[in-house]
Structure 1
Amino acid sequence: MSDFEPKLILTRVFNRLRRDGFNLGMGEYMAAVEAVEGGWGSNQDELLDALCLLWCSSLAEQSRLRILWDTVVADSKQKSREEQLEEEIKTPPPTKSDYSEKPPSGEEVKTQPVSTAKTTQEIAAQPVKSPFIPADIEEDREFENYWLLSRRQMVYAWRYLRRLVADGQQDVLDVNQTVEKAAKQGFFLQPVYRRREKNHAHLLLLIDQEGSMTPFHRFTRDLVDTVKYESDIERVDVAYFHNTPAESVYKDSHLTTPIALNEILARCDRDSKVLVISDAGAARGYRRMGRVRAITEVLFDIKEYTNLIAWLNPMPKERWDSSSAQIISHLVPMFPMNKEGLAQAISVVQG
């Protein structure tokens, strides 16, 4: 084993955390694997920071993870040394007798390998330490897809994003009007029906993609899937960008099909709701005024169509300090990317 194998250590840490009571499933595991494959975790410190972001929802959990991390890394190094030692034991160095003594007859030629194999077997029969056997982990029946926000919580939150208009079928019984009409007439003739309300809300999602947002791709995918296919929002537009939404954004998450931002905004009106999802430089602690100015221009462009706009940041609020996110949070309502943050963002864009 090499000095540092991120996926192997990742698996061992995952199993250890599950045994210690962390609420982790395959969704969290695959999110971490994607982060490693995306370039995060090139060294131990960077991998530890990424796992703290993905798997811990409080400072207490981060402290527990860091303690367990040191133990797992130390065990991994010990196992590597034991494996090397066992390999050396299984292949003993040749002795002088192996070269000087020659079998006098063909019969001894047949028996000599058996004796050597027996000696090797006797030496290797005493392991330095019992082999590592991971404990069986009972998989959850329903895996959560992210450490702070599950699909179920997303679906529940989208119910509060609405613009109801009574223009559906007239088949809903209006009890109050029916009673009032019967009281005026002095007798009951027929019930009063009203039109069914429909949700005519329009939501625009602007999602930062790749780079420092790579560990959060699983979340943004679930966010798009739930709002498109598991909500009653009538119109949903999704556009992707990298770092800053410029004159052109992208239709797809792979950033291969550009589309003019003005074309996307032209679909909006004063009742449209806009959610921006980006770390705004908080993941790496950057404060770049060029990025702030570019985002400020985009925010002004959006506000020409609608003022119902909010920002979801996947980084904890304490990480916004001394980064571009701190400045941008004064320009647009910004909330952390968790259950409470999503609810607050929806409350803002609901108006």
Structure 2
Amino acid sequence: MSHTLPPLLLGLFRELKAHGVPVGVRDYLDGIEALRLGFGHGDRAALRDLAVALWGRSDEERRLISRWFDVLPAPDGALTDAIHASLSALDTHDSDGTSPSGTAPPPGRGSSSGAAPPVRPPPVEADAQAAEARAAMARVAFAAAREGSGLPIPRLATTPQIGEDYVLIPQPLVSPRDLAVLWRRYRRSTRHGPRTELDLAATLRERCRRGLLCQPVCRPRRSNSARLLILADASPSMDPWRPFLATLAESLPLGRLGQAEVHYFNNLPRRQLFATPGLAKAAERDEILRRHAGAGLLVVSDAGSARGVLNRRRALQTATFLEDARKFCPTAVWLNPMPRSRWAGTTAGLIADGPVRMLPLDAAHLLRAIDILRGNK
């Protein structure tokens, strides 16, 4: 039994992952073990029932698996018959002790002849035909004809020995709750609004000055006036971090900031910024910077390190943008989702040497970024 799933089940496994079904390494290995024990053999219906039993945990997932088998076209019967005939002929020749080309096998040690005649190697063309037949068989056949029913779903007896940890279920870099706590750390308390809070010191001074207090002295309550402008890269190289960008935008209202907005760009903040990750609803970049004058600037981008390329022109244009942005936003931080070891020799390495601090994207460095935005260098 092979250590990989047949092509049909492998394609189904990848389709389930693409639709967000939480199947992992253990489910993959369970499929291999089930085929080894004889489940799902015989026809496509048996294979579909096995996939439903192993990977269908809800009605929606079971419908997705069934739809996969219904939509996928079945192989041509003439093709499968020809492949079965070719393989049967190969098996017959092997059982008769002759090679497909008709040459006799060499005699053993007990042969009466003194010297064994030289064995002529099989023609390359015959080997190529046999390999092609086996490859085609692997594409259209599922397994040997054996059916099992009424037995429990097989499970591995022991945990597989895997040298590395693979997390196939998406996990956020930073949870929404932790992001909300971090945003609340970014505070600039000021007093504005109606005078509803008692100012005890001013009241005592007024009482001592006049000797008579007509009414207490009040003052506005403290509120967080910190403002934040986030510019997020929505280019194809940032696709693995799209869920984090969505979580980032959803967590801003929980931070109780004075003002917070997210705008998107493609690789480089050019003259226009966009209101959605799909780069729709464009607005002038300079107008957005003027509207957020005095706010903290947070840029989230891999800066070319995800593809491992070095683009000096992009680095110069980014440096020019950062110089212009700091005229409106004195405090700025760049968050790079790629690890620091991947920055060297890329555009990110040149940008990191610029005037804006570049940090990796994780909870600890995000906390450090908030401190920088607060003015703690």
State the TM-score, normalized to the length of structure 1.
Answer: 0.61
Farther off after superposition, 82-91 or 161-170:
82-91
1:263 aligns to what? 287
Cα distance, 1:261 vs. partner?
A: 1.3
Q: Which moved more, 1:72-81 or 1:244-253?
A: 72-81
Deviation at 1:83, TM superposition (A): 6.8
Distance 1:171 1:208, change over 3 A: same
Question: Which residue matches 2:266?
Answer: 242
Residue of structure 2 in register with 1:63 after alignment = none
Distance change >3 Å, CA 218–CA 12, structure 1 → 2: closer
Which residue of structure 2 lines up, in the alignment, with residue 33 of structure 1?
none
Q: Are 2:331 and 1:312 equivalent residues in the alignment?
A: no
Kindly indicate whether residue 338 of structure 2 is the aligned counterpart of residue 330 of structure 1.
Answer: no
Q: Give the TM-score normalised by structure 2.
A: 0.57
Cα distance in 2 between the residues matched to 1:187 and 1:211: 71
Q: Which residue identity does 1:216 align to in structure 2?
A: W
The within-5 A match list for 1:265-304 is 265-269=289-293, 271-304=294-327
Consecutive unaligned residues in structure 1, runs of 5 or more: 17-68, 92-122, 135-143
Map of 1:218 onto structure 2: 243
What is the CA-CA distance between 1:275 and the residue it aligns to?
A: 0.7
Unaligned 5+ runs, structure 2: 1-7, 47-145, 157-168
Matches within 5 A, 1:44-193: 69=25, 73-79=28-34, 86-87=41-42, 124-125=147-148, 130-132=152-154, 146-178=171-203, 191-193=216-218
Equivalent residue, structure 2, for 1:194: 219
RMSD between aligned residues: 3.7
Q: 1:12 to 1:224 in 2, by over 3 A?
A: closer
Aligned mates of 2:187, 2:292 — CA distance in 1: 15
Alpha-carbon spacing, 1:182–1:145, altered in 2? closer, same or farther (3 Å): farther
Conserved? CA contact 2:334–2:357, under 8 Å: yes
Offset at residue 207 of structure 1 (A):
0.8
Give identity over the alignment, percent. 28
Distance change in 2, residues 1:152/1:90 (3 Å): closer
Deviation string, structure 1 residues 305-343 (Cα, Å, up to 9, x no partner): 222111122223333333322222222112222222222
**Aligned partner of residue 321 in structure 1, secondary structure:** coil
Q: Is the 8 A contact 1:145 1:151 kept in 2?
A: no
The answer to whether the Cα contact below 8 Å between 1:90 and 1:124 also exists between their aligned partners in 2 is: no
Residue 5 of structure 2: aligned partner:
none
1:10: how far off? Answer: 7.8
Deviation at 1:125, TM superposition (A): 4.7
Aligned-pair CA distance for 1:297: 1.7
Contact 2:296–2:331 under 8 Å retained in 1: yes
Counterpart in 2 of 1:99?
Answer: none
Aligned AA for 1:234? G
Residues 180 and 318 from structure 1, CA distance in 2 versus in 1: closer, same or farther, beyond 3 angstroms? farther
CA deviation after TM superposition for structure 1 residue 173, in Å: 2.5
Other-structure match for 1:141: none
Q: Are 1:162 and 1:200, in contact at CA under 8 Å, matched by a contact in 2? A: yes
- Structure 1's 78 and 159: CA in aligned 2 closer, same or farther, altered over 3 A? same
